[in-house]
Structure 1
Amino acid sequence: MARKSGKTPQAIRERAAKTAAVMASPSGAAAGDARKGPGLIQNLRNAPKFFREVRAEARKITWTSRNETWITSIMVAIMVVMAALFFWVVNTILQFAITWLLRVTTGG
């Protein structure tokens, strides 16, 4: 697998500094009245910041390759078949055991 970008120590430190700065600043809801949320005007003023943050988070998404998706799907299908076979065998054994036990106890 290729090394993902943003895993260098410098990039990690930069992200940590940004996170610390965001955590240190009071949010709009915490600064206002605790009983009442921000008004419509305040929400409209915060909208551009919100969408910038959404875009920044969306850029962090890494998608699996077609090959990784195919291999994972095949592995899941194999595990489903193996689990189905296991439960079928266990069910059959229990069915025979209970049937035998009922025949022995009822004398039939």
Structure 2
Amino acid sequence: MANPLQFLQQVRSEAGKISWPSRREVLVTTGMVLAMAALTSAFFALVDWVIRTGVAAIIG
């Protein structure tokens, strides 16, 4: 087990290795996530409508 000073030095060393994404990368990936979420919600809304219509036709 390392002493607290060594631990903090190691944390600082590891933090220096972090590669942060650029602003453009963040915006592109955020847009992709939002687009996929919209497509997924539209797909499940369509599936829900089809099942609801089918069940109503069977029961109706």
TM-score, scaled to structure 1: 0.53
Mapping of 1:49-68 within 5 angstroms? Answer: 49-68=6-25
Query: Is residue 72 from structure 1 mapped to residue 29 from structure 2 by the alignment?
Result: yes
Instruction: Quote the RMSD (CA, aligned, Å).
Output: 1.2
TM-score, scaled to structure 2: 0.94
Larger relative contact order, structure 1 or 2 (CA cutoff 8 Å, min sep 6): 1
State the identity %.
Answer: 32
Mapping of 1:95-106 within 5 angstroms? Answer: 95-103=52-60
1:101 Cα deviation from its structure 2 partner: 0.7
1:89 Cα deviation from its structure 2 partner: 0.3
Structure 2 gap segments, 5+ residues each: none
* 4+ aligned runs moved over 3 Å, structure 1: none
